[in-house]
Amino acid sequence: MSRRVRVPSLLGEDGTLRRPAPPRREGDDRRRFLFTVPPLPGHVAPTVAVGAELARRGHKVAWAGHRATLERLLRRGSMIFTAEDDALGPRLERARREWLGLRGPAALRFLWEELIVPLGEATLPGVRTAIKRFHPDVVVSDQHALAGAVAARSADLPWATSAVTSAEFARPLAALPRVEEWVRDLIGDFQAGHGIGDPLDPRFSDHLVLAFTTGGLIGDTSVFPDHFAFVGPVRARPSGGDFPWPWLDEGGDRPVVLVDLGETDGPAGERFCRTAAEAVRDLDARAVIVAPPGAVPEPPGNVLVRERVPGAALLRRASAVVTLGDHGHVCEALADGVPLVVAPVRADQPVVAGQVARAGAGVTVRYGRVRTGELRSALGTVLGDPGFADAAARVGASFTAAGGAAEAADRLEKLA
């Protein structure tokens, strides 16, 4: 009896003609890397630097995600595969704004049910199409881009995790086992619904995890498997824009405090900015507060309020930074050896704030109920004790030693 041989279709699942993988010449070490990312600048930024390093080495690099976001953040001419429909962007933006007003368990539940899982569902077809057309050797999937991991596993491709925050490494829900189990079940259901019978946690590749942090910030990393590569944060491209540097120079040698909350979530954020302005009023320091117009109606003479600032240049002048604790903002400050006052609110911020405090590189304060005196005392502590700056410098040195984009590219080349 003859055996039936299955002939593969020339058409993909989307009905388009399959393109054969380009032949690779013997001795050609060039590889193809596909980055899958959510429409969040802080998650895209490290892949820009890593992708640039891979391209410099002669490899082909592409991204799959929200085209409008990627075009704004990537270098001109970058290869982009659209993985979201036009209607998804506004829906996610509305959900993100609603999420900014939530706290605690409600914020966590909303994050997974209304942002991460819907994003995975919506982008999976586009990511699968990108794989068929680009023929990557490796898929690099952001921790919150579930579609990248599922599509790579479905295509039997090596895949790496891009972990732009270290919060997940600390098991932030360990004290809430039922919530932790709920998240695992949600992830498992997503994978099972798309044909993955042996689900792994898509936040942690079993091939390679690129962790954009170091033990200098998160503590002992020897407990992690060898495929966890702590490459350190990757610096974002310097921000431009005009700035009244003479105003800052008028302060002479007085310390400079940068207050940058990232996104101010309406009245609560504006209240914090006004409290920060009052806290600095009686300090022998100058402060630059990043806030929208009108957030601080009558700032003291030693406080400057600007909607946009050249962050990288200001950090080189800063003696302390006040932030909510987003991993990217914290690492930017520590990379320059600048200690922090952290006022965490949601998501990874409480975990990162705890890491900063344990590293001795800053102190934490309340966000919603912080008083002027409390914030003034925290700033006085960080500015007055050189131990905080010394600790921040140690963490920054660990970032430099970790290798950043070059080390990440080395590890991806080995995986390919």
- Give the tens place of pLDDT for each residue, 226-237: 999 999 999 766
Pairing verdict, β 228-230 and 32-36? unpaired
For residue 243, count CB atoms less than 10 angstroms from its CB and return exposed for 0-12, middle for 13-18, buried for 19 or more.
Answer: middle
Mean pLDDT of 79-101: 75
Average pLDDT along the chain: 86
What are the tokens at 335? 């990379």
pLDDT value of residue 239: 64
Distance of alpha carbon 390 from alpha carbon 388, whole angstroms? 5
- For the 32-211 domain, the top CATH level (class) is alpha beta
SS3 state at 61: strand
Q: Residue 231 corresponds to which tokens in the numbers above?
A: 């490459």
pLDDT tens digits, 148-188: 999 999 999 999 999 998 887 877 666 667 777 888 888 88
Handedness of CA 276, 281, 284, 287 (dihedral sign): positive
Which percentage of the chain shows pLDDT scores above 90? 60
Indicate the residue type of 100: L
Q: What is the pLDDT of residue 23?
A: 54
Which has the minimum average pLDDT: 97-111, 127-141, 320-334, 355-369? 97-111
The DSSP bridge partners found for residue 63 are 35, 80
Q: Is the pLDDT of residue 266 over 90?
A: no
Instruction: Give the DSSP per-residue string, 297-347.
Output: SS--TTEEEES---HHHHHTT-SEEEE---HHHHHHHHHTT--EEE---ST
Domains 32-211 and 245-400 alike in fold: yes
Would you place residue 131 in the very low, low, confident or very high pLDDT band (cuts 50, 70, 90)?
very high
Give the full edge-to-edge strand order of the sheet including 286-290. 303-306, 286-290, 256-260, 320-323, 340-342, 362-364
- Residue 390 CA: distances (Å) to CA of 130, 169, 333, 350, 355: 46, 25, 13, 23, 16
Q: Residue ranges of the domains in the chain? A: 32-211, 245-400
- pTM value is 0.86
Q: Is the dihedral of CA 185, 189, 190, 191 positive or negative?
A: positive
Q: Check whether 374 has a pLDDT greater than 80.
A: yes
Task: Show the CA angle centred on residue 23, arms to residues 21 and 26, nearest 5°.
Answer: 145
Judge: domain 245-400, CATH 3.40.50.970. Answer: no
Q: What pLDDT score does 414 carry?
A: 96
d(CA 70, CA 66): 6
